[in-house]
């Protein structure tokens, strides 16, 4: 075992060994009294500009469990470390057919990796291309407007997170989160993902990480088939008997559905074969761009630009009197706003940062909550997304994005003339009234949220900041209900997981859900 000592405050200039020494002293130990001691997590406390400092937690391993127990009882803020070990239970049922995974985003990747490591030789069917081919197709779209509907920012190896900041923050409290971080580090992510409170991989690094993970899956007997969407399901007696793709028909022992939040055609396929789906809440809005230096100053004041401080990032939220929420989402420091369409004739935006986060601009989604009460039917949310995206395309054509300064939006007179930041959206932007794209409740809440955020962070008071729309793919608008055994309520060998099934929100939580699905499959079936 090991213990974690939390809440070790330290000035910006304090060296790691000094932080560790402070934690050891708090425990009544010296450097030789521990088998291992290291920084576990580091966060920045910038709530008061006059006293910006780091807050660390320190990992300490002793060779005496009794001594660890005494420290946990005596030292405030200490706890036992949760091991990142995955310990599956193996069932006795013999698989009749393949263990098949639909989708190779975070949920599908981690499900496949775990199954492959324990000898199950999974078959992965991925609609999009491998990451290298996919990257070439995405860059061509950004350059020319030629969209590949099968392989794009939403679809392909690594999922939508491949073209993002690669954020690994999550609100879920699950010891398997540590396993996810350690796995990413094993396959090439910077080791800082293990210690930062807000870890990120960066889109440039993440592309190599997913290739390395794929390599291990294949080396262990798994198959990963790109450009191979799921096109049919044969269901009888409450089971998925086989699946259909361009490979033909495959007998199926278990199907892990890890299809991603934008796989609307696949979700309709499931629904059409009798798999129960239900509507769920999601959010829509726009990307806001500021100068990164303005964000840094808003957070750090006169210390902005210090090499001891990380690039500034924020997370804001506001609730209106009606109870509707507006919040910032997927903040990308030093990043760009990217064209993220996956269907012809529709404009979608997203944010992306490389590991260095060295760009001039920062961007984030400012998103307004949408609930099933705002639309009708299982696919009403999907249709609302499509309606907004088509309206954006018709407003500008050629995947140019509608945009305006914050001042232009608030005044109802859209303009880009007084912008304080150069928009980074690759296909270009045109001034447009965003109220023509969204339902009134969205733009009314967006306006209230921007005014509220300006009181919390000074950069949001900049009327020259740019809003680029629409941001619609924050999460899946549908959920595939599942039982406590993680199987669909409609098919006892179908395991819905990840963002597309409505059970995750981000890379880490999707990866953890994929792990859970894999463990459930292993608990049921034996392997060769």
DSSP labels for 379-400? Answer: THHHHHHHHHHHHHHHHHSTTP
pLDDT of residue 292: 98
CA 350, CA 338: separation in Å to the nearest integer? 5
* DSSP, res 323: S
What pLDDT does residue 528 have? 63
Tell me how far apart the alpha carbons of residues 362 and 446 are, in angstroms, rounded to a whole number. 19
Q: Closest Cα partner for 475 from 369, 390, 388? A: 369
Residue tagged 């392909």 (tokens):
156
Beta pairing class for 98-102 and 248-257: parallel
Name the packing angle between helices 507-524 and 106-117 (round to 10°): 40
Work out whether strand 248-257 and strand 494-496 pair parallel, antiparallel, or are unpaired: parallel
Q: How many helices (H) and strands (E) does the chain have?
A: 12, 22
Rg value, the chain, Cα? 24
Q: How far is CA 460 from CA 182, 189, 490, in A?
A: 36, 32, 47
Q: What is the pLDDT along the chain (528 residues), one digit of tens a residue?
A: 789 999 999 999 999 999 999 999 999 998 778 889 999 999 999 988 889 999 999 999 998 889 999 999 999 989 998 888 899 999 999 998 999 999 999 999 999 999 999 999 999 999 999 999 999 999 999 999 999 999 999 999 999 999 988 899 888 888 899 999 999 999 999 999 999 999 999 999 999 999 999 999 999 999 999 999 999 999 999 999 999 999 999 999 999 999 999 999 999 999 999 999 999 999 999 999 999 999 999 999 999 999 999 999 999 999 998 889 999 999 999 999 999 999 999 999 999 999 999 999 999 999 999 999 999 999 999 999 999 999 999 999 999 999 999 999 999 999 999 999 999 999 999 999 999 999 999 999 999 999 999 999 999 999 999 999 999 999 999 999 999 999 999 999 999 999 999 999 999 999 999 999 999 999 999 876
Q: Look at the pTM and tell me if it is higher than 0.85.
A: yes
For the chain, domains (ranges, CATH) are 3-80 (3.30.70.2700), 98-277+479-524 (3.50.50.60), 282-471 (no CATH)
pLDDT reported for residue 361: 98
Asked whether the beta carbons of 350 and 167 are under 8 A apart, the reply is no
In angstroms, the Cα distances linking 341 to 53, 125, 182, 226, 414 are 41, 22, 32, 20, 23
CB atoms within 10 A of CB 40: 21
Listing DSSP states for 25-51 in one string gives: HHTT--GGG-SEEEEEEEEEE-SSGGG
């Amino acid at each position: 075992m090991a213990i974690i000592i939390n809440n070790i405050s330290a000035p910006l200039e304090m060296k790691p060994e000094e932080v560790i020494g402070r934690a050891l002293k708090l425990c009544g130990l010296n450097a030789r009294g521990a088998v291992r001691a290291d920084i576990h997590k580091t966060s920045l406390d910038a709530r008061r500009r006059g006293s910006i400092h780091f807050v660390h937690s320190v990992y300490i391993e002793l060779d005496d469990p009794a001594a660890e127990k005494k420290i946990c009882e005596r030292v405030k803020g200490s706890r036992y470390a949760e091991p990142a070990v995955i310990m599956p239970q193996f069932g006795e049922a013999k698989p009749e057919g393949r263990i098949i995974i639909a989708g190779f985003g975070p949920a599908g990747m981690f499900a496949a990796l775990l199954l492959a490591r324990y000898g199950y030789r999974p078959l992965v069917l991925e609609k999009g291309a491998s990451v290298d081919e996919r990257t070439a197709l995405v860059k061509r779209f950004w350059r020319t407007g030629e969209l590949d509907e099968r392989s794009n920012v939403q679809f392909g190896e690594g999922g939508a997170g491949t073209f993002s900041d690669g954020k690994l923050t999550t609100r879920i409290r699950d010891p398997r989160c540590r396993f996810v971080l350690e796995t990413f580090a094993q396959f090439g992510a910077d080791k800082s993902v293990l210690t930062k409170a807000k870890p990120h991989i960066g889109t440039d690094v993440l592309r190599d990480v997913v290739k390395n993970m794929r390599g291990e899956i294949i080396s262990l007997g798994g198959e990963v088939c790109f450009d191979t969407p799921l096109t049919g399901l044969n269901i009888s007696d409450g089971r998925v008997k086989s699946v259909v793709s361009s490979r033909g028909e495959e007998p199926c022992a278990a199907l892990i559905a890890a299809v991603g939040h934008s796989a609307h055609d696949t979700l309709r396929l499931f629904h059409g074969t009798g798999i129960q789906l239900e509507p769920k809440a999601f959010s829509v809005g726009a990307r806001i761009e500021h100068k990164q230096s303005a964000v840094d100053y808003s957070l750090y004041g006169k210390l902005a630009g210090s090499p001891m401080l990380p690039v500034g990032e924020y997370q804001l939220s506001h609730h209106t009197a009606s109870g509707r929420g507006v919040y910032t989402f997927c903040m990308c420091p030093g990043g760009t706003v990217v064209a993220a369409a996956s269907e012809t004739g529709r404009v979608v935006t997203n944010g992306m940062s490389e590991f260095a986060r060295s760009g001039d601009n920062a961007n984030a989604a400012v998103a307004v909550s949408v609930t099933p009460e705002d639309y009708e039917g299982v696919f009403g949310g999907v249709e609302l997304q499509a309606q907004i995206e088509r309206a954006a395309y018709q407003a500008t054509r050629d995947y140019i994005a509608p945009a305006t300064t914050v001042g232009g939006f608030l005044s109802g007179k859209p303009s880009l003339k007084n912008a304080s930041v150069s928009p980074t959206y690759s296909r270009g932007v045109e001034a447009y009234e965003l109220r023509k794209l969204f339902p009134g409740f969205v733009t009314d809440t967006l306006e209230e949220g921007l005014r509220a955020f300006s009181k919390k962070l000074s950069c949001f008071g900049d009327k020259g900041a740019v809003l680029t729309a629409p941001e619609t793919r924050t999460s899946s608008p549908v959920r595939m209900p599942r039982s406590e055994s993680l199987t669909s309520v409609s098919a006892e060998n179908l395991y819905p997981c990840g963002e597309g099934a409505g059970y995750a929100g981000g890379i880490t939580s999707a990866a953890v859900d994929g792990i859970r699905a894999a463990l459930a499959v292993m608990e049921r079936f034996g392997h060769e």
